């Protein structure tokens, strides 16, 4: 994966440079400085965010390397799922899909798209939209407005986590300076020692500044940027759901509603056109 390759390159080059230039003294001080700066960084995230945002921010480190959740096959499953629900609703009314949207866990239609079924945001968005359309047939725009609100709320929560990571990246150089100041204080308390000893202690103190800057601009900052891209890409999946159901609510035929949304999906994620019949209930090949 590209992000893992980038991480290895950064660690090898910067870590190798530290080993070559810092020597044994830097290696001995490295665990203490990392623990000090890392612990303070962890605490600042907890201090400045709600538990949900902090949890999402920490999860962002893993998500940045795993990549976006939704892939091309998931979009194919989504269009099959929505197409099937829309066709049944058009033929037999919304009562025909009532059991599917009320208990999606027991629905054969949803079970044919297990990754969508397992995702609370996507599953809830689909079920709530069809449920609202069934309750208010005279105003399908109400369902579209509700979907926009749900997507915005989901996006806002995750962008707060991105903001927390960016704030952490901004704070890390200052935390590195704090670690350096503590090292200088320790050095000053041993000012009567030999210059060789003082040199080692000053070098260990400056290591804190190095680590703060490196962690900010070499790791956390890029991870925050990558996580922001993933958040936006995954929001696009939910917006595709909104697009299909909104077109259907406006009276567009199910096949055309799916095709209109499919053509707006990014090319690398865009599945092949769906045949008009028969309706597929399983993952597209």
Q: Is the pLDDT of residue 200 over 80?
A: no
Q: Say if 218 falls within a structural domain.
A: yes
Window from 56-60, 98-102, 204-208 with minimum mean pLDDT: 204-208
Q: Are residues 226 and 243 in the same domain?
A: no
Task: For residue 214, name the pLDDT band (cuts at 50, 70, 90).
Answer: very high
Is the Cβ–Cβ distance between 147 and 129 less than 8 Å? yes
Kindly report whether the peptide bond that precedes residue 29 is cis, defined as omega within 30 degrees of 0: no
Q: Is the pLDDT of residue 275 over 70?
A: no
Task: For residue 193, name the pLDDT band (cuts at 50, 70, 90).
Answer: confident
Higher pLDDT, 199 or 260: 260
Q: Are residues 151 and 76 in the same domain?
A: yes
Residue 94, SS3? helix
Residue 122, SS3? helix
Q: Is the pLDDT of residue 196 over 90?
A: no
Q: Say if 190 falls within a structural domain.
A: yes
pLDDT at 2: 83
Q: Is the pLDDT of residue 169 over 90?
A: yes
Residue 8, SS3? helix
**Whole-number Å distance between alpha carbons of 97 and 85:** 7
Q: Say if 179 falls within a structural domain.
A: yes
Q: Is the pLDDT of residue 124 over 80?
A: yes
Q: Are residues 147 and 244 in the same domain?
A: yes
pLDDT at 216: 95
Q: Are residues 260 and 220 in the same domain?
A: no
Q: Is the pLDDT of residue 44 over 90?
A: yes
Indicate the number of domains in the chain: 2
pLDDT at 60: 92
Q: Say if 12 falls within a structural domain.
A: no
Q: Are residues 258 and 151 in the same domain?
A: yes
Q: Are residues 150 and 174 in the same domain?
A: no
Q: Are residues 41 and 138 in the same domain?
A: no
Q: Is the pLDDT of residue 164 over 90?
A: yes
Query: Where on the phi/psi map is residue 23: left (φ > 0), alpha (ψ -120 to 50), or beta?
Result: left
The candidate with the shortest Cα–Cα distance to 162, out of 229, 103, 100, 209, is 229
The candidate with the shortest Cα–Cα distance to 271, out of 136, 45, 70, 56, is 70
Q: Say if 85 falls within a structural domain.
A: yes
Which residues span the domain enclosing 131?
72-155+238-269
Mean pLDDT (the chain) is: 87
Q: Is the pLDDT of residue 279 over 50?
A: no
Q: Are residues 76 and 59 in the same domain?
A: no
pLDDT at 206: 86
Q: Are residues 116 and 216 in the same domain?
A: no
Cite the DSSP H helix spans in the chain.
2-48, 51-66, 72-92, 98-102, 108-111, 114-118, 120-135, 141-188, 195-214, 221-249, 254-262
Q: Say if 135 falls within a structural domain.
A: yes
Distance of CA 120 to the CA centre of its chain: 15
Average pLDDT over residues 45-49: 93
Q: Are residues 174 and 79 in the same domain?
A: no
Q: Are residues 80 and 111 in the same domain?
A: yes
Eight-state DSSP code of residue 137: T
Q: Say if 277 falls within a structural domain.
A: no
pLDDT at 284: 39
Q: Are residues 262 and 143 in the same domain?
A: yes
Q: Say if 274 falls within a structural domain.
A: no
């Amino acid at each position: 994966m590209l992000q893992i390759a980038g991480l290895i390159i950064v660690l090898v080059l910067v870590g190798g440079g530290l080993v070559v230039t810092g020597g044994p003294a830097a290696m001995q001080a490295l665990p203490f400085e990392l623990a000090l700066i890392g612990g303070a960084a962890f605490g600042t995230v907890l201090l400045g965010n709600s538990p949900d945002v902090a949890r999402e921010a920490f999860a962002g480190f893993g998500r940045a390397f795993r990549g976006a959740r939704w892939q091309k096959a998931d979009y194919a499953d989504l269009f099959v799922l929505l197409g099937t629900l829309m066709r049944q609703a058009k033929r037999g009314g919304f009562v025909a899909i009532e059991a599917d949207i009320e208990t999606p866990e027991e629905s054969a239609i949803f079970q044919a798209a297990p990754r969508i079924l397992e995702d609370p945001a996507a599953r809830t968005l689909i079920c709530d939209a069809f449920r609202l359309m069934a309750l208010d047939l005279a105003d399908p725009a109400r369902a579209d407005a509700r979907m926009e609100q749900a997507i915005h709320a989901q996006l806002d929560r995750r962008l707060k986590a991105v903001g927390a990571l960016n704030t952490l990246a901004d704070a890390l150089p200052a935390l590195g300076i704090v670690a350096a100041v503590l090292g200088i204080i320790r050095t000053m308390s041993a000012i009567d020692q030999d210059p060789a000893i003082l040199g080692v202690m000053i070098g260990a103190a400056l290591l804190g500044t190095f680590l703060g800057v490196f962690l900010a601009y070499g790791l956390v900052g890029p991870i925050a940027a990558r996580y922001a891209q993933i958040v936006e890409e995954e929001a696009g999946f939910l917006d595709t759901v909104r697009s299909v159901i909104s077109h259907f609510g406006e009276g567009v035929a199910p096949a055309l509603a799916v095709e209109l949304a499919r053509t707006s999906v990014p090319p690398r994620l865009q599945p092949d056109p769906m045949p008009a019949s028969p309706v597929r209930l399983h993952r597209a090949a």
